[in-house]
Amino acid sequence: MMLIVLIAPVNWLVWPRIPSPMPVWQIVLGLPALLLLQSLLRDIAILCRNRRPASNKPRREAQCFCLESTAGATGIVAGALFAWLGGSAQMAVSRWEYFLAVTGTLTLGFIIKDLVISWNPPGVRREKDHLNVIVRWKTRSK
């Protein structure tokens, strides 16, 4: 959360260097990329902080995906499709809109960081340590 508070004023100062108007595909591609970057940096920090020898506990398997990664990847695909299809529509972005979009994206990433989408049972649930979950499409037959 502290990183979001530190980055927000920087966004305000960086805005004059951001071209306006900008293509819509850049916005659709850029915000999910920011969400995925935030997720990657958080995961790297967790891995660096937890540099302990491997435990004897069996790894847990589940039928779920990280909501943050799913949202980011979906946005990347949508932005890439817009770019590929020649979506050249331009959108003027004010300083406040830029500031709110970046800060809102980072805040959303913080809010959904522990949520996973599961398909067995279907739903969205909080999974605090989903970094160590092995994703399975189907349950293993025993």
Residue-wise pLDDT for 34-88, tens only, equals 999 998 988 888 778 777 655 555 667 778 888 898 999 999 999 899 888 876 7
CA separation for the pair 69, 127 (Å, rounded): 14
| Average pLDDT rounded to a whole number, residues 121-131 | 81
| Average pLDDT rounded to a whole number, residues 84-105 | 85
Distances (CA, A) of 98 to 2, 3, 138: 20, 18, 42
94 in helix, strand or coil? coil
> Is-contact 125 115, C-beta < 8 A?
yes
